[in-house]
Structure 1
Amino acid sequence: MRAFGLGFMCALAACQSAEQPVVEVFRPEYQGVQTRLLEGDLVNFLVTMQRARDRQDVIDYAECAAAQYALIRGFGFARQVRTNVVEEGGLWRGDAVYTVSPALPRGLRTIDAEVVVQNCFEKGIPTV
């Protein structure tokens, strides 16, 4: 029994001395949003950030900007028309176009502005 206890302790010590994997913390740097009214209810959002994990982080940033813009203009909804993302030398840029509207628009990529702004706040993503 004593041999079992000693072996178990050695195995436990080996587990504790093994190197722990390095976990990188996501710390994006949001560098701003430019907003341009194109015509009518179409709005263009140009977002810039560094340390994005992938293109989805840039898309999320643009969506947060669109949701806040919709609320500022007195609308409750937005619909994504398109979002283009490019990365060059660690600098990520998003070029997104949304429609904003007071009622839920037709289409698959619609957002409820109040819900999205709250989610952005919880995730630490800035809005307009």
Structure 2
Amino acid sequence: MTLRIIPERFLPHVQGVLRIATALLFLQHGTAKIFGYPHVAMFDGLKLMSLLGVGGLLELFGGLLMLVGLFTRPVAFVLSGEMAVAYFMFHGVEQFWPILNKGELAALYSFVFLFFAVAGPGKFALDKE
């Protein structure tokens, strides 16, 4: 016997809420890099055609597409890859373990986006599966 706190029929709803919450949190990274809001001093003077600038564009537009649930699977796959690259290029260069290199968020985003690439958007999405 399996104890279920939330009935299985609500899985697509919870999946949709996870997608929306993830997108809203992820979108902040893009707006901080591209628009300077919220302000993160590290991104002052960021050039759009730099590695961080291109990452910001992916985060902004990918975050928006994830938010509304449009092209969810391919967008999530690209964003999962972006976060894996972010982990190994920026966080994992000196120390492998996420707790030591402050790469936990990049690693978690990578796996959450990989989940959406495989499972789809859930409810509340413009994608019709």
Normalized against structure 1, the TM-score is what? 0.25
* The structure with more strand, counted as a fraction of residues: 1
* The structure with more helix, counted as a fraction of residues: 2
**Larger RCO (CA within 8 A; separation ≥ 6):** 2
Normalized against structure 2, the TM-score is what? 0.25
